[in-house]
Amino acid sequence: TVKSPDISREKSSALYETAKGYFPGGVNSPVRAFKSVFGSPLFIEKGDGCFVWDADGNKFIDFCCSWGPLILGHNNPVVKEHVLKAIDNGMSFGAPTALENDLASLILSNNKKIEKIRFVSSGTEAVMSAIRLARGYTKRDKILKFDGCYHGHVDSLLVKAGSGLVTFGETSSAGVPQSFAEETVVIPLNDKDAVRAAFEQFKDQIAAIIIEGIPANNGLLIQDKDFVHFLRDITKENGSLLIFDEVITGFRLGFEGAAAYYDVNPDIITYGKIIGGGMPVGAYGASAEIMGNISPEGSVYQAGTLSGNPVAMSAGIGQLSQLLKPGFYEELLSKTAGFVSDIQEFADQRGYAFKIFTIGSLFWFAFTDKDIKTAAAIDASSMQYFKVFHRELLNRGIYIGPSGYEVGFVSAAHSQAELESAKKAIFDSLDIVFLK
Ligand code: PMP
């Protein structure tokens, strides 16, 4: 295998130079700046099905899929039609619309993990609201989170583990007061003893445990079923709530997300991404009793000018109604499983220290031969392999997120033929990584 020539980035580079004059670091969200890979960001011009095209006209098979929302691929005709239909009637009213009822009904009649829902405009907003609800409901302040889980840029969750097994969090961003971080207790994933110790140390103070349905923001850290059930039990025993952050896993592992996968009933679930079909939507839901604490019914305040935006609701209806078609998830999951196992087989035959962690239609390429379930188990030095891999993939027409800690997404729009050509590019890129 020979290294591929670098793709042309002339127009993307020029756009990036201009963008640097407008935005901090030239971007509106940090990971887009390509800081942990070679080169500078590609400016995307359009997407269709499983493909994206950049400003220089390079065409890629896209496994980033806007970081998850596009489970049907880009420019899905039904979603597009729903957006156009809604726009005909105006873009926002700040008043209730029937479309909110329609999307809620579609969700609540097919996802029995929640009884009532509230729509917001991003995953961060959903988590922020869920945390406030848990605190208001339990009348407690502390939140227990796991090292390696990301829950959006909520102040009290931009917190990393301190040095002990169970620690007050330390802020991981400037601008977050240490006093906020002290309301967050950070512990390692998949570690029952650490959870028990936290409940002993902070007895009657923990409002909730929050965990990603499947932690998928710092590698794909698939938790043991037994651990998740343990979290359900210990929160119940201690009068705390269990929050599942399903911003990635919701409607992706299945219509009822990771909660159904683990057969667990969390107290509050947050959603985002897929629920809006590519438009800015998030949501949180719980039992009718817990949701009764939200304003104007209850005393926990939460609001939004663009919440339940009609265009976004309509896009969500267009998307979610397609996911409910019989066999949708089965097909997507079996397609992903075949794709991933072929790549794993190739790497194993070659003896490469490369492992794909996968669940549902999510996958994570890791340069390791270990089973990884915690953030601490990821070897940061393995990211140097990812950098080369990423460059080689781009040069062969494969677009994945520009960080070795991020997961990839297979969509319904990835056909078998495209997965075959992606596999070939992945094999060749692995050969370059390991034989260089
Ligand atoms: N929670 C999880 C699990 C996420 O993956 C993300 C975003 N990747 C968020 C919350 C925040 O969502 P948003 O970026 O829409 O604010």
Considering the domain architecture, whether residues 312 and 381 belong to the same structural domain is answered as no
**Is 89 inside any structural domain?**
yes
Minimum-distance ligand 1 atom for the alpha carbon of 127? 10
pLDDT, position 436: 60
Last residue of a domain, one of 276, 296, 323: 323
Considering the domain architecture, whether residues 136 and 259 belong to the same structural domain is answered as yes
Closest alpha carbon to 17 in 68, 55, 74: 55
Considering the domain architecture, whether residues 383 and 393 belong to the same structural domain is answered as yes
User: Is 273 a catalytic site residue?
Assistant: yes
Q: How much is the ipTM here?
A: 0.99
What is the band of 169 on the pLDDT scale with cuts at 50, 70, 90?
confident
Considering the domain architecture, whether residues 64 and 135 belong to the same structural domain is answered as no
Mode of pairing for the β-strands spanning 398-399 and 362-366: unpaired
Kindly give the distance from the C-alpha atom of residue 149 to the centroid of ligand 1, in angstroms, as a whole number. 10
Considering the domain architecture, whether residues 62 and 93 belong to the same structural domain is answered as no
Minimum-distance ligand 1 atom for the alpha carbon of 246? 3
pLDDT, position 435: 87
Considering the domain architecture, whether residues 191 and 319 belong to the same structural domain is answered as yes
Contacts of 296-302 with C-beta under 8 Å, sequence gap 24+, read 298/136, 299/136, 300/132, 300/133, 300/136, 300/137, 301/132, 302/118, 302/120, 302/129, 302/132, 302/133
**Is 216 inside any structural domain?**
yes
**Is 92 inside any structural domain?**
yes
Minimum-distance ligand 1 atom for the alpha carbon of 273? 15
Q: Ligand 1 in contact with 150 (CB < 6 A)?
A: yes
Average of per-residue pLDDT values in the chain:
96
Residue nearest atom 13 of ligand 1, based on CA coordinates: 123
Q: Ligand 1 in contact with 412 (CB < 6 A)?
A: no
166 pLDDT above the threshold of 80: no
**Is 91 inside any structural domain?**
yes
Q: By the 8 A CB rule, do 73 and 277 touch?
A: no
Considering the domain architecture, whether residues 83 and 22 belong to the same structural domain is answered as no
Last residue of a domain, one of 268, 294, 323: 323
Q: Which of 150, 329, 352, 405 is catalytic?
A: 150
Kindly give the distance from the C-alpha atom of residue 8 to the centroid of ligand 1, in angstroms, as a whole number. 32
User: Is 150 a catalytic site residue?
Assistant: yes
- Count of domains in the chain? 2
Query: What CATH number does the domain containing 317 carry?
Result: 3.40.640.10
Considering the domain architecture, whether residues 315 and 336 belong to the same structural domain is answered as no
User: Is 301 a catalytic site residue?
Assistant: no
What count of other Cβ atoms lies within 10 Å of the Cβ of residue 185? 28
pLDDT, position 163: 67
Considering the domain architecture, whether residues 337 and 306 belong to the same structural domain is answered as no
List all residues 6 or more positions away from 301 whose beta carbon is below 8 Å from its beta carbon: 132, 295
Query: What CATH number does the domain containing 355 carry?
Result: 3.90.1150.10
Closest alpha carbon to 374 in 145, 187, 186, 190: 190
Q: Ligand 1 in contact with 123 (CB < 6 A)?
A: yes
Q: What is the pLDDT of residues 52-83, one digit of tens each?
A: 999 999 999 999 999 999 999 999 999 999 99
Q: By the 8 A CB rule, do 240 and 252 touch?
A: no
**Is 139 inside any structural domain?**
yes
Query: Can you give the residue range of the structural domain that contains 18?
Result: 10-75+329-435
Strand, helix or coil for residue 428: helix
Phi first, then psi: give them for residue 111, nearest 5 degrees: -125, 100
**Is 1 inside any structural domain?**
no
Q: What is the pLDDT of residues 122-139, one digit of tens each?
A: 999 999 999 999 999 999
